[in-house]
């Protein structure tokens, strides 16, 4: 039996403001069972939300299917205006939404506010794209006819979002779906359902028609989502999560040849050459490693530093990370909040122990904190060998694993020696070298002299086992559109 956490009046008001039912066909409905939502800083109960069973999932899909034709006929300008209203509403509601996010996920309030702004920008970006869906008109090469090319919404879309960015990963999927004219069923992560439920409430207030966006929360995602994936009414799946789960979903989608977008795991290399601006490289490493307490698929997972600057870089980074205040995300000045759950702490502990056992040295941190909550301090390890387990799996915690290299050719080979290919980071003042290495890295994105690459106006996605398709940017809406060719005889 979970103990209910003690909240301030403002915190309790924020939690109580969130509807806790399933949002299906424009109505909130309860369920026979409930799903507990806990505070990772205390391990105690925040509230309980509806726990959907398979029948409720199918009801949500039926609502999306019923609303699809009318939403597809809705003028693009009207869809755009609704998304712009949602953008403004999110920004106006930043403080409440940020507090909800911090309480259920753990990230510091400053980061949560940043995510609200990031999430809102996806609505603005795709509001602008909704009215710019293009096509084509051209003569047949042999003459006698014309080719008309138009684009139409894919149809009802299943959107599965992760716990680490519980609002932004929702708007990054919902924004292009609605802009393209697709209805959707959204399944947020069971650890962090409140941000998505709050978003559903906002979308209803700004005029998204009933059935266009449906939200189902569940403790049994496989039982609820598998029937939807296998249902011929579902025409698109967009998933953000682990590669292992993504592979299972791809197999299921193959049965109905469903369109898919997959944003999966990462193993990002962070490369620092000896001609880099070390001040910028250290700050870039802090950003790339510590964003979201290290719980991001874009986090720097393997840090490679050219040998003759490795010690200076490591010393500076250790000093920076050691100075970061740790605590509950609602506390002033906190930078390192709790990890999502006890299993996450245990994983980080195991990875650090493995690296140390293989010869790595702890420069700061390196041990979990006693007491309530899922806390692990910012940690720097040096001398991490490529054979260490953390070099082959996402750490998903605040651990900077540093190794050294000698030559450009060597580090490119080592950086690419992974089945993943989401993002990489390169720090050098030599433009030619920077471009060479960026082009040689087998990743979908690269940050050159910067530690953050995510931007709603840029295409986000990876190669190899890091995923399929792109979210954001000019191509983000394409994932929700089918191209139709019409031949016209003259």
Q: Specify whether the CB–CB gap between 426 and 448 falls below 8 A.
A: yes
C-alpha count within 13 angstroms, C-beta hemisphere, residue 448 = 14
348-351 long-range contacts (CB < 8 A, ≥24 apart) are 348/376, 348/395, 348/396, 348/397, 348/398, 348/399, 349/376, 350/389, 351/388, 351/389, 351/390, 351/393, 351/395, 351/397, 351/399
Instruction: Round to whole Å and give the CA distance between 34 and 52.
Output: 8
Catalytic residues: 263, 297
C-alpha count within 13 angstroms, C-beta hemisphere, residue 71 = 30
Helix intervals (H) in 93-193: 94-105, 109-130, 168-180
Sequence-distant (≥ 6) Cβ neighbours of residue 260 within 8 angstroms = 236, 237, 238, 239, 249, 250, 253, 468, 469
Could you tell me the strand order of the sheet in which 379-382 lies? 361-364, 379-382, 399-405, 300-306, 268-272, 423-427, 445-448
Q: Specify whether the CB–CB gap between 26 and 211 falls below 8 A.
A: yes
DSSP code for 292: G
Q: Specify whether the CB–CB gap between 58 and 227 falls below 8 A.
A: yes
Could you tell me the strand order of the sheet in which 481-489 lies? 136-139, 145-153, 481-489
Strands (E), 392-465: 399-405, 420-421, 423-427, 445-448, 463-464
SS3 115: helix
Sequence-distant (≥ 6) Cβ neighbours of residue 42 within 8 angstroms = 5, 328, 372, 373
SS3 421: strand
Tell me the β-bridge partners of 489: 145
Buried residues in 427-450 as b, exposed as e (16+ CB within 10 A): bbeeeeebeebbebbbbbbbbebe
Residue whose C-alpha is closest to residue 374's, from 453, 295, 434: 295
Q: Specify whether the CB–CB gap between 376 and 349 falls below 8 A.
A: yes
């Amino acid at each position: 039996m979970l103990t209910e956490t003690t909240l301030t009046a403002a915190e309790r008001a924020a939690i109580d403001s969130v509807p806790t039912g399933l949002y299906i066909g424009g109505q909130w409905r309860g369920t026979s069972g409930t799903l507990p939502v806990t505070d990772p800083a205390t391990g105690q109960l925040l509230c309980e939300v509806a726990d959907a069973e398979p029948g409720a999932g199918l009801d949500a899909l039926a609502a999306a299917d019923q609303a699809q034709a009318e939403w597809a006929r809705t003028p693009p300008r009207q869809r755009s205006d609704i998304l712009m209203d949602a953008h403004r509403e999110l920004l106006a509601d930043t403080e409440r939404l940020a507090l909800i996010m911090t309480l259920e996920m753990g990230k510091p309030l400053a980061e949560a506010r940043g995510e609200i702004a990031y999430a809102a920008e996806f609505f603005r970006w795709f509001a602008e794209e909704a009215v710019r869906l293009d096509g084509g008109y051209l003569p047949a090469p042999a003459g006698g006819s014309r080719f008309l090319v138009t684009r139409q919404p894919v149809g009802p879309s299943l959107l599965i979002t992760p716990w680490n960015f519980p609002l932004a990963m929702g708007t990054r999927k919902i924004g292009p779906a609605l802009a393209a004219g697709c209805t959707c069923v959204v399944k947020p992560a069971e650890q962090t359902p409140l941000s998505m439920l709050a978003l559903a409430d906002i979308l209803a207030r700004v005029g998204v028609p009933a059935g266009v966006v449906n939200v189902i929360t569940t403790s049994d995602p496989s039982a609820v989502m598998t029937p939807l994936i296998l249902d011929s009414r579902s025409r698109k799946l967009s998933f953000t999560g682990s590669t292992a789960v993504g592979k299972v979903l791809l197999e299921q989608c193959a049965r109905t040849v469903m369109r898919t977008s997959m944003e999966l795991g990462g193993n990002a290399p962070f490369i620092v050459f000896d001609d880099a601006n070390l001040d910028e490289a250290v700050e870039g490493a802090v950003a790339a490693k510590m964003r979201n307490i290290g719980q991001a698929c874009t986090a720097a997972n393997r840090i490679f530093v050219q040998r003759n600057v490795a010690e200076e870089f490591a010393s500076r980074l250790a000093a920076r990370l050691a100075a970061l205040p740790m605590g509950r995300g609602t506390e002033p000045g906190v930078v390192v909040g709790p990890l999502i759950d006890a299993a996450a702490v245990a994983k980080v502990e195991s990875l650090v122990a493995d690296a140390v056992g293989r010869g790595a040295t702890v420069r700061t941190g390196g041990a979990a904190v006693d007491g309530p909550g899922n806390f692990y301090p910012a940690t720097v390890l040096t001398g991490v060998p490529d054979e260490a387990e953390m070099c082959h799996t996402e750490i998903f915690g605040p651990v900077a694993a540093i190794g050294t290299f000698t030559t450009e050719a060597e580090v490119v080979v080592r950086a690419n020696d992974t089945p993943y290919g989401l993002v990489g980071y390169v720090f050098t003042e030599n433009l030619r070298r920077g471009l060479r290495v960026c082009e040689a890295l087998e990743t979908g994105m690269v940050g050159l002299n910067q530690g953050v690459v995510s931007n709603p106006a840029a295409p986000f996605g990876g190669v190899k086992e890091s995923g399929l398709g792109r979210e954001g940017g000019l191509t983000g809406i394409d994932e929700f559109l089918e191209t139709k060719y019409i031949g016209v005889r003259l």
